Structure 1
């Protein structure tokens, strides 16, 4: 999509980190940058407009080559941001606590947007990684993951960074009588099959992106645990968001939720 890189703006430190990240990403993609804010209080519209003007000026100073617009949009923040994502190439939000609960690792608005936005959402936290850090992508091995791999390879290519591909697996669950999966597994055989699966998935992508160095990790482990561990010191972690948001609150799946909550680098959540 050739829409803008859109970023949610507030007065938090996390929002400023998100704005800086969005500025740099818009420059890399040669796309315009759109700043969006919803008034926190009806009486504070003037202050919100002033904040937007300051942040727009800061974005222009950081990346003069990027066309920057700023919009103050009435409505609940989560709904405003989700609607703004409809015509965006990418939506960027800061990781922050909200609602007076400082122990929350991520704001409820951020989690909602990551679960509902129709475009990829990048959740940015501070501090930023070293400029030469790798891009990481979590892969299950299904055909539906093309948007996730495309996002990861393009991100690595734009920034001239290596790509680290993580595939975590566990033994299938036995569902009960009549289940055809054998009770006893030979771990080396199962591991070899997962190695083969990942190599097969990546073959076409290596050919399309010969300039992107790729390393892989195939491990028997919990996917969320491995991805969070791999996020330390990285430039970006890319994961997929499968299907519709779950439950009455519209949550992410368990793996995506854990990764977005606990990863130590920016996380791109890509709808598949």
Structure 2
């Protein structure tokens, strides 16, 4: 069964930009689009004053809003199959469940509805942590022009080849659908003295030093994806520095930034890694966060 691309909307400028991004991607990939709104019954004196205390009234508003949002894309892309859903319950749980049934979930990077919406700051980050599928964050003001030819799909790769396989897969699939170039970025730093071992020193000696070793590691990670997507141009970029800073330096020329993530469990709950966190907060282009196996 083919999964749709799902966009979460809450009526804000950010979520409508996310919806437009999701619609364009669905058209390119020849997938259906599902538009969802996370809703929970609200009780408040202000709502009672305008006779909106009835849950049916509130859910009716939500259905009308999501339907209107969907019409903005069906009018522009009449060939696109679009469905809508109002998901009642906890925002995080609802959106994570929607993501599980989707090719990807697309959200506005900052958005909220004062009455029945969800916060895409705290809630959005928690959805990223919990989602088993890629989550794309889109800022307000993002337009189709940002996907023009010459702008790259930038993807970060670290560790062993299998560590970033899902992020690379997502980047290559997106580039293939858009006719874009993939810029694969691997950042490296000098390890502390105690990190050296006879085995690691032998590998570094055989590679000719740290940077050649990192270049070989990136080339090895990219090899299966080059073979699978032979028509996708690839630029390899290896640079000394922190992964977050190196990736952000590439954001200006990117139409999409792709990062992998493993959720880090702490005493105060799960958090995304520092690289994904930094890119999400500072990159001006849309960011796709892809869970790693």
Normalised TM-score (structure 1): 0.88
Question: What residue number does 2:102 align with?
Answer: 88
Q: CA deviation at 1:114?
A: 1.2
Q: Verify the 8 A CA contact 2:10 2:112 in the aligned structure 1.
A: no
Task: Find the aligned partners of 1:8 and 1:173 in 2 and give their Cα distance.
Answer: 44
Deviation (angstroms), 1:99:
9.5
Q: Is 2:75 aligned against 1:61?
A: yes
1:207 to partner: Cα distance: 2.4
Pairing 1:126–2:140 present: yes
Distance (whole Å) between structure 2 residues aligned to residue 225 and residue 140 of structure 1: 14
How far did 1:98 drift?
5.3
Q: Which structure dedicates a bigger proportion of its chain to helix?
A: 2
CA shift for structure 1 position 160:
0.3
Q: Name 1:210's counterpart in structure 2.
A: 230
Separation (CA, whole Å) in 1 of partners of 2:30 and 2:111? 32
Distance of 1:179 and 1:139 partners within structure 2:
23
TM-score, normalization: structure 2? 0.82
Q: Deviations over 1:72-115 (max 9, x none)?
A: 11112222101111111111111105599xxxxx6111111111
**1:103 counterpart residue number:** none
Higher CA-based Rg: 2
The Cα offsets for residues 95-149 of structure 1, whole Å up to 9 and x where unpaired, read as: 105599xxxxx61111111111111111111333242211111011422322111
* Contact 1:141–1:201 under 8 Å retained in 2: no
How far apart are the structure 1 equivalents of 2:156 and 2:61? Answer: 41
Does structure 2 conserve the Cα–Cα contact (< 8 Å) formed by 1:120 and 1:271?
Answer: yes
Residue in 2 aligned with 1:265? 285
SS state of the match for residue 284, structure 2?
Answer: coil
Once the two structures are superposed, residues 182-229 of structure 1 have per-residue CA deviations (whole angstroms, 9 ceiling, x without a partner) of 7xx99x721111112112222232222221111111011000111112
Structure 2: gaps spanning 5 or more residues: 43-52, 115-119
> How many Å separate the matches in 1 of 2:174 and 2:110?
24
Q: Which residue of the partner structure matches residue 179 of structure 2? A: 160
Structure 2 residue corresponding to 1:137, chosen from 155, 161, 166: 155
Distance 2:77 2:41 in 1: 31
* Contact persistence 1:23–1:62 (CA under 8 A): no
Picking from 242, 252, 256, the partner of 2:276 is 256
Q: Which aligned segments of 4 or more residues in structure 1 are displaced greater than 3 angstroms?
A: 40-43, 97-100, 173-176, 178-182
1:114 maps onto 2:132 in alignment: no
Structure 1 stretch displaced more, 126-135 or 247-256: 126-135
Which residue of 1 is the match for residue 24 of structure 2?
Answer: 24
Render the CA deviation track for 1:40-66: whole Å, top value 9, x for unaligned.
Answer: 543432221211110111121122111
> Aligned equivalents of 2:278 and 2:63: distance in 1?
35
Structure 1 alignment gaps of length 5 or more: 101-105
Counterpart secondary structure, 1:140: coil
